[in-house]
A and B are shown apart, each in its own frame.
Chain A
Amino acid sequence: MLENGKISPHQYTIMIAFFIVGGSILYTPSGLVHSAKQDAWMANIIVVGLGLILVSLFNLLGSRFPTMNLTEYSERILGKWLGKLLSFLYFIYFFLSLAVFIRQIGDFVIIQILPDTPILPLHILLIGIMIMGVLYGIETFSRAIEIFFPIIFLLLLIFIISIFPMIEFQQLQPILANGTKPIISAAVKSVGTPYLQLVLFLMVFPAVNQTTKAKKSFLLGTFIGGTVLTVVTLLSILCLGTYFSENMEFVAYALALKINIGGFWQRIEAVMAFIWFISIYIKITLYFYGSIICMGQILELKEYKCLTFPLGLITLVLSLIINKNIVESDKQAEWWTSFSLPFGLFFPLLLLIVSKIRKKDSY
């Protein structure tokens, strides 16, 4: 066992909700609105449904090996070498995602908040606190998340209530103008971010101290995160209309920019940025944790902390070169689902089926 820390099911729920909100709160609407137009919120509900089905699959696999993480039981199910190969593929997947998300924060900051700042110092700061989070271990980290939760929840609530006066219900009409086809295709396309990525939590799953409750919290966390994303999508269509929801680089931030109640409750977009920074920080730290545990397992190390600095430095370089420009990173969202599909769906299914056939479970 590389990880000896234990987290409670409650912390696990919060972690998952943050993970889902983190990567997507600024991005979700535009992709969905592109194909589903004003019905994007329905697509979002479908995506949450698909996400919950995926999570049940992960739960099935995770609870079969309640004390082991993904890399451990892939070696057990597929044999040592094949298992290590699969673990290595997962390592690459986690590590690339990590770099992509760090780049997303960098891009956001230099586009919206600090336009002339070079991206490097931002990444150094971010990776610094990310390494710190992993060095403290999952137990400390999840307690930190628990402290953040009420603050973020309150801010999100304030944000949503402040938007209410700008709502124009006619923006939602006509409902289902183009039939259900574009909605379903939009939903299927965007299941990759963030629901297929939830496979990462199979690395954290054994750290939860009650397996049966962990299954429930996995579903609950997914549901909470998905609901927040649906509400944000709905609000952006209601307030900004389809053109802006589709073409703004950061829709939720544009929404926050518009808040103006009575001439004094305005310019609170930093609240939105704060929500996003905290939640995506949690997301990248979990990715970093996942890739380090993966690597540690492959190399059969006794403890993983020696890996943080070397891998952190590689992350820094990778995050700078992973995309050449912003158009490329926007395009990335489109093929990310197909890239995540083997990791998020096929491999877990394969592991589940093979473990049933070979009658393997945890001891």
Chain B
Amino acid sequence: MKRKITLILFFSSIILLTGCWNKRELNELSILLGLGIDKEKEQYIITAQVVNPSEIASKKGGSGKAPVIVYQSKGETLFEAVRKITTVAPRKLYFAHLRILVFGEDLAKEGIGEMIDALIRNSEVRDDFYIAVSKNSKAADVLKILTPLETIPANSLFASLEVSAKEWSPTEGVTLDKLVSNMVSEGNNPILTGIELKGPVKTGESNKNVDQTNPKTLLRYKGLAVFKQDKLIGWMNERESKAVHYALGKVKSSVGFVKCPEGGKAVIEVVKTKSKLNTMIIKGRPHGTIKIKILGNVAEVDCQSLDLTDPKSIPYLEKESEEALIKIIKSTIQHAQKDFRTDIFGFGEALYRSEPDYWKKHKREWEQLYSQMPVSVKVEMNIRQTGTINNSPLHEMK
């Protein structure tokens, strides 16, 4: 008898254990992949790029509809605007698969702090997506553009940022946690990669844009948004942003060229870098040092004068590229010190780590000290390989 009761209880409990309380099946979710935030007259405008599952899932190539849908809504706060999207979309947004977050330039100038809070507080948001700032356009426009090859634009943006950060280096995929720790740190400031829209928005919105071999409208990562705490204060160009990433040791692989002895160019492919950033106190004043070690290969020789069979030409190339790098890194640091007056390199944090007492005394006037601080840069370049040939065919064509 007792056994029967146990069995009945056991099986009837199955009815109760059907799943989560607030389960949402796939057909009740709209999976958010890209989110853009703009500000217009005290109101936030959010643009949500949502997957159109029927287009993505069908093996036959879909019915020619757009692979994503873009919803927009306005609100006084971010969370309000996100919930308001349900008035236009049939399903509630699901944040866990977010790939890219784009801030509009105008919003970034006013400050992104309020947006960040809403995102880290929400338990549905993971911090494995990248954050970028749209340059010269609205974040909304960036998310409306359809991209070739990767059918989902947000995935394309994510992948492109990841690949370019790895192979080219002026860009960087910044995640939420990194952004927040740089934002709250007293001795560091955040940087984000910029996205630029090339071509008219109108043509980019429709599937026709990706039907061509050469899409009229494209998205391109360009420049580096420099922040002071949570406010955008300026842009750096490609060369400078590369220099910043060299200084921060974030370059994984990159390309740089040097001049040959008698004109022409030789291209060095960087395969490995390591950098050390320090701030020391010399005679009561802070002094920054950056030491970079680079391992590179010769990737391209566009000149006749360089003889790669001669062991002397390798030290020559090393020296030339060291000097070129030191020059752009120094000018970039000066640009950040004099024009932006914002410590994006983390010299302040380095000072706190090495001289905590000095930092505590002077952290209030850090901006002043930083902008006048001398920084010495040392680059050690090592070139190992020259590829599958030694001398260039150009060399033989004398």
Nearest chain A residue, comparing its CB with the CB of B178? A241
Q: Which of the 9-residue segments B29-37, B121-129, B191-199, B368-376 touches chain A? A: B121-129
Say whether B54 faces chain A, with CB atoms less than 8 Å apart: no
- Chain B residues whose C-beta falls within 8 Å of the C-beta of A244 in the assembled complex: 177, 180-181
Chain B residue nearest to A111 (CB atoms) is B123
Nearest B residue (CB) for A117: B21
A60 on the B face (CB < 8 A):
no
Segment of B258-266, B284-292, B335-343, B349-357 in the binding face: B349-357
* B184 contacts chain A at the CB level, 8 A cutoff: yes
Report chain A residues within 8 Å CB of B356: 174, 177-178
Q: How far is the CB of B171 from chain A (nearest CB, A)?
A: 19
B6 within 8 A of A: no
Chain B: minimal CB distance from A122 (Å) = 9
Query: A240 on the interface (CB 8 Å rule)?
Result: yes
Residues on A with beta carbons closer than 8 Å to the beta carbon of B354: 173-174
Task: State how many residues of chain B have any CB contact under 8 Å with chain A.
Answer: 19
Min CB–CB distance A181 → chain B (angstroms): 14
Residues of A within 8 A of B20 (CB): 114, 117
User: Which residues of A lie under 8 Å from residue B21 when comparing CB positions?
Assistant: 114, 116-118, 121
Question: Hey, which bits of chain B sit against chain A, CB under 8 A?
Answer: 20-22, 123-124, 126-128, 177, 180-181, 184-185, 352-354, 356-357, 360
Q: Are A240 and B352 in contact (CB under 8 A)?
A: no
Instruction: Report the interface size for chain A: residues with CB under 8 A from the other chain.
Output: 21
Residue on B nearest A266 in the bound complex, by CB: B128
Q: How far is the CA of A260 from the CA of B356 in the complex (A)?
A: 33
Min Cβ gap B326→A in Å is 24
Chain B residues contacting A178 (CB-CB under 8 Å) are: 356
A241 CB contact (under 8 Å) in B123, B181, B352, B353: B181
Contact B123 A240 (CB under 8 A): no
Q: Are A170 and B353 in contact, with the CB atoms below 8 A? A: yes
The answer, yes or no, to whether A243 is at the interface (CB within 8 Å) is yes
Kindly state the separation between the CA atoms of A333 and B128 in the bound complex, as whole angstroms.
Answer: 31
Docked pose: A237 CA to B350 CA in angstroms? 17
Provide 15 A-B residue pairs closer than 8 Å at the C-beta atoms, listed in order of the A residue: A111-B123, A112-B123, A114-B20, A115-B123, A117-B20, A118-B21, A173-B353, A177-B356, A177-B360, A240-B177, A243-B180, A243-B181, A257-B126, A257-B127, A258-B127
Whole-angstrom distance between the alpha carbons of A121 and B17 in the complex? 12
Chain A residues near B360 (CB-CB < 8 A): 177
Contact with B along A75-119 (1 / 0, CB 8 A): 000000000000000000000000000000000000110111110
> A116 near B22 (CB under 8 angstroms)?
yes
Interface residues as binary, A144-180 with B (CB distance below 8 Å gives 1, 0 otherwise): 0000000000000000000000000010011001100
Which B residues lie within 8 Å of A111 (CB)? 123
Q: What A residues does B127 contact at CB under 8 A?
A: 257-258
Nearest residue (CB) in A for B22 is A116
